[in-house]
Structure 1
Amino acid sequence: MEAEVIVAYLFPPMDDEPPPDYLRFVATRLAWLHREALRLCGGQGTDPADMLAMDALTDLAGHWRRLAWESRLRHRDVRADYLARRLTKRTEQWREERPYPVEVTVRPAPRLFAARYARPAPATIAHRLALLLPSTVRDEAGVVAEAEIAWVHAYRRHVRHRYARVCTAGVLLVGFLIQFMSQASGTG
């Protein structure tokens, strides 16, 4: 039998599945996030806008627990402010990487946004009838998919950072032991 190891965490690790309140938050803010990302990209197409929106959601997922705690402490929603700041920061980074300047339009291009998220026309009678049944309409599936993808990216980043911290602590510990042993053997 394996002995169960109980580890007390000062800061518990990030969950590998997104919490329901994160999914609800993304569901309410996703349309705004895509419109704003498209506007900030200057209408250059949906690919950069989707990338910027996903990066901002990933940043939000990585800090979700801290932002939820801060929201409870301040009695206001700081998560929406953080999402807007991260989208702006990611857009600035994206613009700096571009070989040519990006011109930003004040109004979003509704045709690009509508074409990207428009539901395709059903091909068969069964598809047309399925839209009328409430159990087969899955508008929230895209929202859940984007939220879970962003959460997985943030979780992987969290795991990489945890491994880097453990490796750095190990190297520092070995260096400290070498330094301590060399000083102890030299004074004898």
Structure 2
Amino acid sequence: MRMTSEPPAEYVAFVSRHLEPLRRDSVRVVGGEEDADCLYVDVLTDVATRWNWLELQRTRLGHQDAADDFLGRVFARRSERFYLAEDGFGDDDLQIQVTPWYPDEPPPPRRVYVSTAVRLAPMLVPRRRSSVFVAGPACEAAIAWWHAYETLRRRRLVYVGFVAILLLMALASVTAPPAV
């Protein structure tokens, strides 16, 4: 079953049920409200990535709590990774670049990387005039679903590339002249 670009109603309902407890637990693990989305969005994305399988387990295999169980396992795994990254042992992608800065010069501009899902979020839910923007379950579900959609699309491209390389290698070995 292919993943659509928009979340199904069942997934949005699942996010609605679990969003507030997941946010609270993420704040507890991360240690601050402002960084909680580093954890719970990834957890919701992992659930969205497996949603078709989880729904199959619920509807066909009779495991009614498949998504809830998977959510708990993913949250525990992601929390552990967060603790390891905080200790400095889990983040291999961290690169530090030292740039000299002199007080009479303006500071260099900061690079801010924003995902496509975050850029799409204002289109999904109108912005409120409050200083703190808290996205609702539908917006959070759409963001996590989009991240999962992109993850699966990238995996599919990697698989196709790998198979193409294997086919080219097989073709090269078949058509290569025999060694003398």
> Same-fold call, TM > 0.5?
yes
- The number of equivalent residue pairs is 137
Q: Which runs of 5+ in 2 are unaligned?
A: 90-127
- Given candidates 141, 153, 156, the residue that maps to 2:150 is 156
Q: Work out which of the residue numbers 27, 51, 56 in structure 2 matches 1:69.
A: 56
* Equivalence for 1:186: 178
TM-score (norm 1): 0.67
Amino acid in structure 2 at the alignment position of 1:71: R
Aligned equivalent of 2:140: 146
Return the offset for 1:121: 9.8
Give the Cα–Cα distance (whole angstroms) in 2 for the partners of residues 100 and 160 of structure 1: 28
Q: What is the CA distance between 1:141 and its match in structure 2? A: 6.4
CA distance in 2, matches of 1:170, 1:46: 45
**What root-mean-square deviation, in Å, do the aligned CA atoms of Structure 1 and Structure 2 show?**
2.4
Q: Which runs of 5+ in 1 are unaligned?
A: 1-11, 102-119, 123-139
- Deviation track 1:29-63 (CA, whole Å, cap 9, x = no partner) reads 1111111212233xx21133221110000000000
Task: Give, as a single letter, the amino acid of the residue that structure 2 aligns with 1:48.
Answer: D
Over the matched positions of the two proteins, sequence identity in percent amounts to: 34
The equivalences for 1:164-175 within 5 A come to 164-175=158-169
Q: Which has the higher helix share?
A: 1
1:86 maps to which of 69, 74, 79: 74
Q: 2:40 aligns with which of 33, 50, 53?
A: 53
Q: Deviations over 1:60-79 (max 9, x none)?
A: 00000001111221342210
Which stretches of structure 1, 4 residues or more, deviate above 6 A after TM superposition?
none
What amino acid sits opposite 1:154 in the alignment?
Answer: A
Distance 2:174 2:13 in 1: 53
Structure number with bigger Rg:
1
Distance in 2, matches of 1:121 and 1:156, equals 31
1:26-41 → structure 2 map (5 Å cutoff): 26-41=15-30
SS at match of 2:5: coil
Q: In 2, Cα distance between the equivalents of 1:98 and 1:18?
A: 32
TM-score, scaled to structure 2: 0.69
